[in-house]
Amino acid sequence: MSTILFEIKNSISIITLNRPEKLNAFNREMSLLLQEKLDECKKKEIRAVYITGSGKAFSAGQDLAEVVDAEGQGMEKIIVEHYNPVVTKIRKLEKPVVAAINGVAAGAGANIALCCDIVVAAASASFIQAFSKIGLIPDSGGTHTLPRLIGWQKASALMLLGNKITSEEAEKMGMIYKVFSDETFKEESFKIAETVSNLPTKALAYTKQLLNISFVNTFEEQLQDEDVFQQKAAHTQDYKEGIQAFLEKRKPHFTGE
Ligand code: T3D
């Protein structure tokens, strides 16, 4: 069985982290395969990405058995070749990425989830910045992403203490978008992917790019960048369709063009 399952349903690529017996902990093979699959999502026909885990976890982060293996990768390779490319590819992908957190998300597993565009979780899921428990610092962009999501103080406490929080707590503090009951989670989380896959893909990509730079830009710089991207959006077919559909009082049919 592959460590990453990949399926395309309509225009949505479904990526499933698939080492359930290890709580979908990342070994080298899984990290590299995830990168490969994220690259495949650049294809024009893909208009949304849905990432989840198989079994009871989303991901327990780095496979800790692999790091003590004498034949395994050193820390430098793990960060530079496994995690940094994954989170960079997700942030740069010009498609919305929905993370559907079905169970525990720990360490790099949590921070990969949190860099996705829309993060939803099952009621029984949980999040842990597990790094401090094993003498590491939070990686996979966590020290950048988490304070921006929930504020410096809460991020600091979660990262230093390494406490497990429930998905409800994560939702309350703004770490994730929504929690669904375990019974409806699969269906509801996938509906979000379906919804975004039918929206104007290019406008969503431009929005994502603006969000990527919004915390480093000054207000004036951001206004200039909004102008640039709005001009681009205004030249898309989907913009024409959006206006036409509004004037004709019908539902728009966006194609991603
Ligand atoms: O060098 C580097 O490490 C650099 C990279 C850093 C990136 C990182 O992600 S560092 C953080 C790594 N992750 C962790 O520290 C989390 C470790 N896991 C846990 O704390 C707990 O397993 C969980 C809180 C995630 C879940 O707890 P629980 O009680 O639901 O499950 P469990 O019984 O602990 O785990 C079930 C099995 O999965 C168990 O195997 P077994 O005994 O049934 O054969 C356990 O050993 C295995 N497992 C869980 N997490 C990992 C793992 N195996 C390898 N690596 C793991 N990360």
Q: Is residue 252 part of a domain?
A: no
Same domain, yes or no: 69 and 13: yes
Same domain, yes or no: 55 and 112: yes
CATH classification at residue 128: 3.90.226.10
C-alpha span between 223 and 219 (Å, rounded): 6
Ligand 1 pocket residue status of 65, Cβ below 6 Å: yes
Same domain, yes or no: 105 and 171: yes
Same domain, yes or no: 87 and 145: yes
Same domain, yes or no: 110 and 74: yes
In sequence order, what DSSP letters do the residues of 177-241 get, joined into one string? SEEE-TTTHHHHHHHHHHHHHTS-HHHHHHHHHHHHHHTTS-HHHHHHHHHHHHHHHHTSHHHHH
Regions of the chain with pLDDT less than 70: none
CATH classification at residue 207: 1.10.12
Instruction: Supply the pLDDT for residue 68.
Output: 84
C-alpha span between 166 and 157 (Å, rounded): 15
In sequence order, what DSSP letters do the residues of 111-158 get, joined into one string? HHHHTSSEEEEETT-EEE-GGGGGT----TTHHHHHHHHH-HHHHHHH
Ligand 1 pocket residue status of 107, Cβ below 6 Å: yes
Of residues 235, 247, 165, the one with CA closest to residue 200: 235
Instruction: Supply the pLDDT for residue 207.
Output: 98
Ligand 1, from 3, 17, 21, 22: best to mutate by most atoms within 8 Å of Cβ? 22
Instruction: Supply the pLDDT for residue 69.
Output: 75
Q: Is residue 38 part of a domain?
A: yes
Q: Is residue 99 part of a domain?
A: yes
Instruction: Supply the pLDDT for residue 227.
Output: 98
Same domain, yes or no: 56 and 175: yes
Ligand 1 pocket residue status of 116, Cβ below 6 Å: no
Per-residue pLDDT tens for 39-48? 999 999 999 9
Ligand 1 pocket residue status of 60, Cβ below 6 Å: yes
Of residues 60, 54, 52, the one with CA closest to residue 25: 60
Number of independent structural domains in the chain:
2
Q: Is 180 exposed, middle or buried (0-12, 13-18, 19+ CB in 10 A)?
A: buried
Same domain, yes or no: 13 and 126: yes
Per-residue pLDDT tens for 47-92? 999 999 999 999 999 999 998 877 777 777 899 999 999 999 999 9
**Please, what sign has the CA dihedral across residues 54, 13, 187, 128?**
positive
Ligand 1 pocket residue status of 67, Cβ below 6 Å: yes
Q: Is residue 254 part of a domain?
A: no
Same domain, yes or no: 36 and 57: yes
Q: Is residue 236 part of a domain?
A: yes
Same domain, yes or no: 71 and 87: yes
Instruction: Supply the pLDDT for residue 73.
Output: 74
Instruction: Supply the pLDDT for residue 253.
Output: 97
Instruction: Supply the pLDDT for residue 74.
Output: 79
Instruction: Supply the pLDDT for residue 4.
Output: 98
Same domain, yes or no: 66 and 101: yes
Instruction: Supply the pLDDT for residue 60.
Output: 98
Which domain does 161 fall in, by range?
4-197
Same domain, yes or no: 104 and 170: yes
Nearest-atom index, ligand 1, CA of 164 = 24
Ligand 1, from 21, 64, 78: best to mutate by most atoms within 8 Å of Cβ? 64
C-alpha span between 55 and 122 (Å, rounded): 13
What residues form DSSP beta bridges with 166?
126
Look at residues 156, 179, 197 and tell me which one is the last residue of a structural domain: 197
Same domain, yes or no: 232 and 175: no
Whether 56 contacts 25, CB under 8 Å = no
